């Protein structure tokens, strides 16, 4: 069956309108109330003398031999005043943080289609059991490599799989996050040109405005001048502007594809070619590779390097922003510059190779965050090559299905590349809604959570798309989840058109009410980064 665009739109509008009612009225919206514990800060709690845990004391045989610990602390180095930490019994501490956990919606509870660019997929619970056991959690990084063979095997194998997925020749899993892997690239490219004696000449890195902020910030940290290319009228990085930016000064590019807009740049290999013609290098930020797994490889578009976030595409949980793992992948040409140690295989044995004279050195201590690697390994093995493609296919299908519903919501638009379908995510605009009602994207974000849905990701800065929001309905979500998410946006839009002040006063069903005195965030005379500062500044005076 094939429907015309207009037919599709009216069918979607009808569907989403029906869904955007409370469940008791026949819709899918929840009558949700977030837990509200009215819990004081832990610094305000406890009673002098209470203990949260008892620690081992030195045995008599030890003190008989060495005497008092205090005798070993040099003059002036013994702490005079005890730290003003809570004194609280164990149950009370545990309960306090359990209440904080309840007041955190997270992804597992919150139907996190919301956080586009973050790929909030289900993190299998079995993986958590694997990494919490002592065979993973209680390993010392300097242990003899003979006692880490299982871990090294997992890392090595995961590296091989990521090579297959990217088409690259070499890998490191040392970076402690996606931005860290992107930074690793800036350092590797720097070392490459340093080794060639071209570092004085090559001083400029090119990125695009719809690439992640780290693609601009990390080359700056590496010492390069950053040139940012803006989109053309179709949302693609302006090819002519890109061409004009490339010169004999260019180190390379650090760009995403698809960009945050979800639009796949069909000419991406042309950009790479322009760089290579100028002797420069090309890196692609693949933090969000979900839509292209098994469909497109960075190497095939000519890139010299790319990265993956194991906590996004490869299922490792986000853990309130870490611990995370960045996988940095590159061609043979850049492999000598990878950070040490590199995991190698020799017959059945795995080794940590530190003897790499051209290496950039290190970006992180020890071996990296290999909890994420264990999880990624398990996830890849669980899905196999067909499953990975299915992940991509369903992500893309989910995204287009949700798009169909959202585009039928009043006040929502989708800038750029009309007639082109997005892959894994879409950057929408609520500019129309704001114009019509005064309700912008921030207010809507603070209202949608009242329906038990995680707040959406708007956009990285700057907001090139006005009043943006960016959902990413990856393979984790069911059709019913997508319907519910679209219904929430529809409901919030309806509220904005009928009672905008109600939305502007949001939230209404959260652990706390609307934040006030927000100028404190910018004012040195008002900010308080710790409780002791706040207490001195505001409470002790009162």
Partner 1 sequence: MADTPFVHPYIPNSVPATKQAMLDELGLGSVEEIYAEIPDRLRFKGTLDIPPAILSERTLRKHVQGLLDKNTSSVEFMNFCGAGCWQHYVPAVVDEIINRAEFVSAYCGGDYSDLGKYLTRFEFNSMMGELLDYDAVANPIYDWGDVAGRSFRMARRITGRDKVLVPAHMSPMRLMEARTLCQPESMPTSTKIRFYEWDRETGMADLADLEAKLDDSYAAVYWENPTYLGTIEAESARIVELAHSVGALAIAGVDPITLGVLTPPGTLGADIACGDIQPLGMHMHAGGGCSGFIAFRDDGPVFAQECPLELYTVMETATPGQYAVGEAIAERTSYGSRDQGKDWVGTASGLWTIGAAVYMALMGPQGFKELGETCIARSHYAARRLAELPGVEVRLSPSFFKEFVVDFVGTGKTVAEVNKALLGHQIFGGKDLSAEFPELGQSALYCVTEYSDKDDIDELVSAVKEVTA
- Contact with partner 1 (CB under 8 A): which of 25, 26, 240, 516? 516
Coil, helix or strand at residue 337? helix
Residue 196 beta carbon to partner 1: minimum distance, rounded to whole angstroms? 13
Stretch that binds partner 1, among 21-29, 245-253, 432-440, 509-517 (CB under 8 A): 509-517
Residue 309 beta carbon to partner 1: minimum distance, rounded to whole angstroms? 8
Residues numbered 331-370 forming contacts with partner 1, rule: CB under 8 A: 339, 360-370
Nearest CA among 370, 372, 395 for reference residue 316: 372
Site string for partner 1, 85-124 (x = CB under 8 A): xxxx-x--xx-xxxxxxxxxxxxxxx-x-xx--x-xxxxx
Exposure string over 310-338, b if 16+ CB within 10 A, otherwise e: bbbbbbbbbeeeebbbbbbbbbeebbbbb
Residues numbered 122-161 forming contacts with partner 1, rule: CB under 8 A: 122-124, 126, 128-144, 146-151, 153-154, 160-161
CA 517 from chain center: how many Å? Answer: 29
Residues numbered 229-248 forming contacts with partner 1, rule: CB under 8 A: none
Separation of alpha carbons 178 and 314, rounded Å? 12
- Contact with partner 1 (CB under 8 A): which of 29, 206, 275, 296? 296
Residues numbered 468-507 forming contacts with partner 1, rule: CB under 8 A: 475-479, 507
Asked whether 488 and 506 are in contact (CB, 8 A), the reply is no
Q: How far apart are the first and last CA of the chain?
A: 70
Residue closer to partner 1, measured from CB, 94 or 244: 94
Separation of alpha carbons 89 and 203, rounded Å? 57
Nearest CA among 476, 428, 374, 392 for reference residue 110: 476
Residue 224 beta carbon to partner 1: minimum distance, rounded to whole angstroms? 9
Separation of alpha carbons 458 and 471, rounded Å? 8
Judged by CB under 8 A, does residue 195 bind partner 1? no
**Which 3-state string (H, E, C) describes 41-58?**
CHHHCCCCCCCCCCCCCC
Residue 278 beta carbon to partner 1: minimum distance, rounded to whole angstroms? 21
Residue 470 beta carbon to partner 1: minimum distance, rounded to whole angstroms? 11
Residue closer to partner 1, measured from CB, 24 or 74: 74
Residue 25 beta carbon to partner 1: minimum distance, rounded to whole angstroms? 23
- Contact with partner 1 (CB under 8 A): which of 396, 406, 409, 487? 396
Residue 49 beta carbon to partner 1: minimum distance, rounded to whole angstroms? 8
Helix axes 5-19, 370-406, angle to 10 degrees: 110
Residue closer to partner 1, measured from CB, 326 or 411: 326
Stretch that binds partner 1, among 23-31, 241-249, 491-499, 518-526 (CB under 8 A): 518-526
- Contact with partner 1 (CB under 8 A): which of 17, 21, 228, 241? 228
Residue 311 beta carbon to partner 1: minimum distance, rounded to whole angstroms? 7
Place of tokens 């398990």: 378
Residue 498 beta carbon to partner 1: minimum distance, rounded to whole angstroms? 22
Residue closer to partner 1, measured from CB, 323 or 500: 323
- Tokens standing for 3? 């429907």
Site string for partner 1, 254-293 (x = CB under 8 A): ---------xx-x-xx----------------------x-
Separation of alpha carbons 541 and 290, rounded Å? 53
Residue 270 beta carbon to partner 1: minimum distance, rounded to whole angstroms? 11
- Contact with partner 1 (CB under 8 A): which of 13, 21, 50, 432? 50
- Tokens standing for 118? 């973050």
Residue closer to partner 1, measured from CB, 434 or 445: 445
Nearest CA among 404, 496, 479 for reference residue 13: 404
Residues numbered 402-431 forming contacts with partner 1, rule: CB under 8 A: 404, 420-421, 423
Q: Per this entry, what is the length of the chain? A: 542
- Going by C-beta distance under 8 Å and a sequence separation of 6 or more, which residues neighbour residue 436? 411, 496, 497
Binding residues for partner 1, rule CB under 8 A, total: 229
Residue closer to partner 1, measured from CB, 389 or 410: 389
Nearest CA among 500, 319, 473 for reference residue 406: 473
DSSP string, 97-110: HHHHHHT--TTTTT
Residue closer to partner 1, measured from CB, 180 or 490: 180
Separation of alpha carbons 496 and 117, rounded Å? 26
Exposure string over 240-262, b if 16+ CB within 10 A, otherwise e: ebbbebbeebbbbbbbbbbbbbb
Nearest CA among 253, 249, 229, 250 for reference residue 241: 229
Stretch that binds partner 1, among 16-24, 77-85, 433-441, 494-502 (CB under 8 A): 77-85
Torsion of CA 46, 51, 53, 54, to 10 degrees: 170
Place of tokens 């590779």: 289
Residue 95 beta carbon to partner 1: minimum distance, rounded to whole angstroms? 10
Residue closer to partner 1, measured from CB, 362 or 435: 362
Nearest CA among 380, 321, 1 for reference residue 159: 380
DSSP string, 170-186: EEE---SSHHHHHHHHH
Q: What DSSP state is assigned to residue 538?
A: I
Residues numbered 2-31 forming contacts with partner 1, rule: CB under 8 A: 2-4, 7-8, 11-12, 15
Residues numbered 433-462 forming contacts with partner 1, rule: CB under 8 A: 445-446, 449, 454-455, 457, 460-461
Residue 281 beta carbon to partner 1: minimum distance, rounded to whole angstroms? 17
Judged by CB under 8 A, does residue 542 bind partner 1? no
Residue closer to partner 1, measured from CB, 26 or 56: 56
Q: What DSSP state is assigned to residue 256?
A: E
């Amino acid at each position: 069956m094939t429907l015309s665009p207009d037919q599709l739109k009216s069918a979607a509008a009808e569907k989403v309108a029906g869904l955007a009612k409370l469940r008791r009225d026949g819709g899918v919206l929840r009558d949700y109330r977030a837990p509200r514990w009215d819990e004081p800060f832990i610094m305000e709690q406890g009673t002098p003398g209470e203990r949260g845990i008892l620690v081992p004391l030195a045995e008599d045989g030890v003190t008989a031999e060495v005497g008092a610990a205090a005798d070993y602390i040099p003059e002036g180095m013994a702490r005079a005043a005890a730290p003003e930490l809570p004194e609280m019994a164990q149950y009370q501490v545990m309960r306090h943080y359990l209440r904080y956990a309840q007041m955190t919606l997270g992804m597992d509870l919150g139907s996190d289609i919301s956080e586009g660019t973050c790929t909030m997929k289900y993190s299998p619970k079995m993986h958590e059991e694997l990494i919490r056991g002592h065979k993973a959690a209680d390993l010392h990084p300097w242990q003899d490599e003979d006692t880490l063979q299982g871990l090294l095997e997992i890392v090595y194998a995961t590296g091989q799989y990521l090579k297959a997925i990217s088409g690259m020749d070499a890998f490191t899993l040392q970076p402690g996050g996606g931005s860290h892997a992107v930074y690793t690239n800036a350092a590797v490219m720097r070392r490459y040109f340093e080794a060639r004696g071209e570092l004085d000449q090559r001083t400029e890195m090119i990125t695009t405005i719809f690439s992640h902020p780290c693609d601009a910030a990390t080359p700056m940290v590496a010492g390069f001048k950053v040139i940012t290319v803006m989109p053309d009228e179709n949302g693609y990085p302006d090819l002519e502007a890109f061409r004009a930016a490339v010169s004999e000064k260019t180190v390379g590019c650090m760009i995403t594809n698809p960009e945050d807009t979800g639009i796949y740049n069909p000419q991406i290999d042309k950009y790479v070619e322009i760089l290579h013609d100028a002797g420069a290098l090309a890196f692609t930020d693949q933090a969000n590779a979900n839509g292209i797994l098994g469909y497109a490889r960075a190497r095939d578009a000519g890139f010299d390097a790319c990265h993956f976030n194991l906590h996004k595409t490869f299922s490792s949980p986000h853990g309130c922003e870490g611990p995370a793992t960045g996988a940095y992948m590159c061609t043979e040409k850049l492999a000598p510059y990878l950070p040490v140690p590199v995991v190698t295989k020799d017959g059945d044995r795995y080794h940590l190779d530190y003897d790499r004279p051209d290496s950039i050195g290190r970006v992180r201590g020890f071996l990296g965050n290999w909890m994420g690697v264990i999880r990624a390994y398990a996830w890849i093995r669980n899905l196999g090559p067909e499953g990975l493609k299915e992940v991509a296919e369903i992500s893309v299908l989910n995204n287009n299905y949700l798009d169909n519903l959202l585009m039928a919501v009043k006040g929502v638009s989708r800038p750029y590349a009309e007639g082109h379908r997005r892959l894994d995510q879409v950057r929408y605009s609520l500019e129309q809604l704001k114009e019509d009602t005064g309700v912008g994207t921030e207010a809507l974000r603070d209202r949608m959570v009242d329906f038990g849905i995680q707040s959406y990701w708007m956009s990285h800065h700057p907001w090139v798309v006005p009043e943006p929001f960016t959902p990413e309905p990856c393979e984790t979500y069911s059709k019913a989840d997508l319907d519910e998410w679209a219904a929430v946006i529809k409901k919030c839009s309806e509220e904005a058109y009928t009672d905008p002040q109600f939305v502007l006063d949001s939230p209404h069903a959260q652990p706390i009410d609307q934040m006030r005195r927000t100028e404190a965030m910018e004012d040195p005379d008002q900010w308080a980064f710790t409780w002791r500062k706040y207490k001195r500044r505001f409470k002790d005076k009162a």
